[in-house]
Every structure is written in C-alpha cells, then in structure tokens.
Copies of this chain bind each other. A is one copy, B any other.
C-alpha cells in the first residue's frame, strides 16, 4: 500500500460558474434570503473595492462592513479573488448585455452610438461601485477568471468598434489601427468618469451625455458662446 502522499484537499479553481440560480426549487424562502445576503455582501465589497482598491481592501473590511465574522465570509465565496470575479462577471455581463440591447434597438449608426453612451451613463449611475471595479481592477484577476472577464470585455469592445467602423466608413481590414484608436478614445472618456464624477456637480447626467455625444460627433463646441443650444 505504501503511505499516500499527503495532499490538501483544496480544489475549486478557475472561474466556477456558480450553481444556476434556479437550481433547487426547494425551500424558496431560505434560498431567497441567502441570495439577498449574498447580493448585499457583493455590493458592500464592491463599494470597499471602489474606495480602497482591491489590494488594499481586506476580507476583514468586508466582514466588518457587513457585520459578519471573518470566517463567515467564506461561506459566501471561496477566495478574495473569487469575490472580485463574481462582482466583475455579474456586472460586466449585465452591462454588456444592456449595451447590446440598447444598440440593437437603435436604427442608424449614429443612433446606436448615442444609445450606447446614454445607456452607459445610466448604468454607471445605477452601479457606480461595481463598474469602477470592472474598469480598474481588471488586472487583479488571474488565469481562467481573468480570461472569462476579458472575453466579456472584448464583446463590449467589438460592439463599439463596429459602430465606429460604420460611422467613420473606415475599413476594418485597412484601417484597423485607426478604428481601434477612435474606439479607445471613447472608452477613455467613458471610463475616466470614475475619476471625477461628483453627484452634486455633474448632474443631471443627461447633460453630460449631451456633451459627450457632441464631443464624439463634432469635437469641442465652437465659438457660439452658447453650448448645446
């Protein structure tokens, strides 16, 4: 027989798709309650990550903020990285799905781009913390989890890049670099918002949308003394 090599059990790695939410139709009340707790926990974690950054946030912080014990947290997720992953995947998947739908509904390329921007700003207001975590903590994920989120991100990129190609008439085969750059300029404007948006100063968000759309289609406004008149 010979003594087996001792191994820690560990297991679970990568990006384990959590059990489908509808899996067991038993004990509905229970399920609901636990799910609500998990959601609250993810929201709290997202807030802390947005505030302090992933590396600087400790699971202990989340425990303190939610009122749970440290060990209690691990009932809801398997590791700090999984926690980040869940936030990013859930949020990003929702965002991109919403964006795709918004774009689909619009008719012209111009309308599509406008819809994408407005939906983004709206989503931003509804999920500020989560979205910031998606935008800035991309690199904190590794391996399978990293790749899964990266794929969603690519879907998003292709969505916008397609519109940009349409609008500009640039040829994806010949002018790939240019399309890429203009697309990324727009992403830059969108994502940098996290760095400065202030609810008191920068609302209503529709105005911000107007301005950004103007910037995208016409660049800075001209000498008319009155902007978006």
Q: Chain A: residues with CB nearer than 8 A to chain B?
A: 1-9, 50-53, 55-56, 58, 60-61, 64, 128, 132, 136, 138-140, 142, 146, 164, 167-171, 175, 177-178, 180-182, 184-185, 187-199, 201-202, 207-208, 211-212, 214-225, 227-228
Contact = CB atoms under 8 A, between A and B. Distances in A.
Interface SS of chain A: helix, strand, loop or mixed? Answer: helix
Contacts of A178: 211, 221, 227-228
Given A182-B211, A191-B192, 11 more contacts: A2-B197, A3-B138, A6-B51, A6-B139, A55-B55, A177-B207, A182-B215, A185-B215, A188-B193, A188-B195, A215-B215
Contacts of A228: 178
Contacts of A182: 211, 215, 220-221
Assembly of this chain: how many copies? 4
Nearest to A184: B196
11 contacts: A5-B142, A168-B221, A168-B223, A175-B227, A178-B228, A181-B202, A184-B193, A184-B196, A188-B189, A191-B192, A218-B218
A185 B132 CA distance: 17
Contacts of A4: 50-52, 139
Contacts of A187: 192
Given A6-B140, A219-B216, A192 B192 contact: yes
